[in-house]
Amino acid sequence: MRSEILTLRDGEGVIADSWRSIRNCPQSVSASDCLCLNSTVFWDISQSCKGPQGKEIASFDLYKEEFKVHSYPVCDSTKYSMIGVTGFQGTLCVVGLLQKHQPWMYG
């Protein structure tokens, strides 16, 4: 997969408002559902929502212009119907939705 980054200002031989290619972009990264924390953009690049086994998070450091892929932390995935990533107080968090829930009806 080819990825490009838009340079917004001049510097070190780079022309402002110009596109250039970057390397090592994970295939599953999409333009939607990303989260930016501390100058790093994060995506959940997993295809399944059935627990953390095999799930991965991609990150792109805006200063270093580097991609990395991180594994989810180990946990008892049988408790959760869905696991995802979010931000909390400037840190990246993995959250799980419990399988057991009680629907409420108002009316």
Give domain limits for the chain.
28-98
Q: Give the model's pLDDT for residue 105.
A: 61
Q: Give the model's pLDDT for residue 8.
A: 73
- Strand pairing report for 40-44 and 34-37: antiparallel
Q: Give the model's pLDDT for residue 26.
A: 74
Residue 14 has pLDDT above 60, yes or no: yes
Q: Give the model's pLDDT for residue 36.
A: 92
Q: Give the model's pLDDT for residue 79.
A: 75
∠ CA 39-86-34, rounded to 5°: 55
Q: pLDDT, tens digit, for every residue of 17-71?
A: 788 888 777 766 666 678 999 999 998 887 654 555 667 888 999 888 888 988 8
Distance, in Å, from the CA atom of 36 to the CA atom of 40, rounded to the nearest integer, reads 5
Q: Give the model's pLDDT for residue 7.
A: 76
Q: pLDDT, tens digit, for every residue of 57-106?
A: 889 998 888 889 888 887 776 777 777 788 989 899 888 877 766 666 66
Residue 107 has pLDDT above 60, yes or no: no
